[in-house]
Amino acid sequence: ETGVTQTPRHLVMGMTNKKSLKCEQHLGHNAMYWYKQSAKKPLELMFVYNFKEQTENNSVPSRFSPECPNSSHLFLHLHTLQPEDSALYLCASSQDSRKLAGGDEQFFGPGTRLTVL
């Protein structure tokens, strides 16, 4: 248990569906992240939120829409996805994404395995 939970753990959706991924952290952190991990590829950072404000969008297509209502919760809204969007989506949190000192390690959730048909 890392203190970061993600639901659902598995999701199968069609290209016309709308679904949402949820992440919750119980660590009192202020920064939250979405990563994508496709098969046989390194993790790719998608979005960063710090104190509920989005600080990074790593050129992610608009069919992925993040939402951060508070520092403990992060959502990823999905609509009109493509089969190539099938991947493991990982959420992480850290104390503060702007922290200058090293040691701002990120704690990851278990991920949501997404399959787009």
Partner 1 sequence: DAKTTQPPSMDCAEGRAANLPCNHSTISGNEYVYWYRQIHSQGPQYIIHGLKNNETNEMASLIITEDRKSSTLILPHATLRDTAVYYCIVRVLFLGQNFVFGPGTRLSVLP
Binding stretches for partner 1 (CB under 8 A): 2, 4, 33, 42-43, 45, 48, 55-56, 88, 90-92, 97-98, 100-103, 105-111, 113
CA 49 to CA 53: how far, in whole Å?
5
CA 110 to CA 98: how far, in whole Å?
24
Whether 32 contacts 47, CB under 8 Å: no
Least CB distance to partner 1 at residue 115 (A): 14
Nearer to partner 1, 52 or 79 (CB): 52
Nearer to partner 1, 45 or 79 (CB): 45
Least CB distance to partner 1 at residue 17 (A): 23
Least CB distance to partner 1 at residue 99 (A): 9
Whether 1 contacts 110, CB under 8 Å: no
CB-based contacts of 81, cutoff 8 Å, min separation 6 = 13, 15, 17, 63, 114, 116
Nearer to partner 1, 16 or 103 (CB): 103
Least CB distance to partner 1 at residue 77 (A): 21
